[in-house]
Structure 1
């Protein structure tokens, strides 16, 4: 089991990760800084250190291992203890213990453990995506000295620029403007002259036409016969009947009652073959109009109204 992987994961979230019976890995946040003459820029980061005196089990590492490896807490403690025994054995025999992405632990002459953190991983999540970079040194002073040396050998003489005389353009512009104004004025005068002459000609023509009209005499030897226009009555073959009466007097009374009820188009049809005078609410050109009116009258006035078609 790679316990150093679990330790590395916890260092992103916690400042102290204790390995029971071995020691604790601590993190300290360091601000961004610049080092060296070449201006090396480093982003903020978490610096990892190791303290071999903190060995108590706080449960953080064991709980994490149990969840990630899907085992019980007790079994995780046993697994961690086995790995710690291996690490301790290596260090007691003066071997280097390399923990991936964390650092390296070695033993000095006094048999003390010395921890050297790795610089390839930044455990500060706020600095995600930021990497160190080196800015080249600016040689501003060196370039200044070189320019001064060149000036001593060949002094630079500034020759004032001779300004060209463009005054003739001003007069040319004035001439063009005056030419344009004169052309526009002449065109306006010419158009006005054409308009005046046209009006004069039209006036003379109108006077002559009026004189000829006054002098003209119209005499018609054969008058045009009058034409009588026959008025074609629009055919309305659909009649909505209110009733039929043998007496013309009763039919007229029925019409008067219908007019009083608001049916202004009520009228009497000619005597039919049954010797009856039909009284109708009105006549219509189309069957749809007649049927629509019949339905309305049957609901509001006469349920027995019926449709007669010529």
Structure 2
């Protein structure tokens, strides 16, 4: 069921439309859960993009699918499968050192292998419990319909400690992300930080996948963070911008999806990608303006006469 199946069309009275939308408890919970997901994805995603671990993040988000499918197969809650597979895959990827010229290629190879194997396991689990295509779509793309207060509380219980840990290790993690070799030489525990970050990434993915599905977590983690880093190089401002964009994308997508027959996933990815394209337009405009000012200043410099 889509949002539009149970509601009337957009009336062009924003206050009345918002009141109508929030009259449904499931929509209130959807905005609460979506906000928690967006904040968590905005912060974790910013470090993930900075560390060039987007492929690892994509793998952990897709691993949530076989985790939920496996949990359903053995008759336990999907949330246990989310955490077991996402955190387990994070530990496997974290076993590869990131310092050295060949570290990036080795990590990519291990990450791709884990992704391919566990996705195959996911479809095997679906076949074994004879799941329907609709169930697979829900695992991959999620749904904000029917979100309970308990689910919102679980999300908050996971998000708060994850964000506190990120705040505690933020400065050394930033140093280790920018230049791991120099950071290691300065005594920064680069290896433990990498392991801790990947476990946090896995936990964040597991927590948000139960609401957004496997694929939408990745969209919220990558595009707002990449957009923010395109617009500013100041870490604190960039992280704040990443979180702000993720929240705005989530709220906008929820509102549009409520009044349209199209799924929430389409609007999340579309809005996030539109922000990313806009950031490149701003970046190109800044570059053109900077070159114009440079040439203008150069034109005013008098020529030396020998």
TM over 0.5: no
Larger radius of gyration: 1
Q: Which has the higher helix share?
A: 2
The one of the two structures with greater contact order (alpha-carbon pairs below 8 A, sep at least 6) is: 2
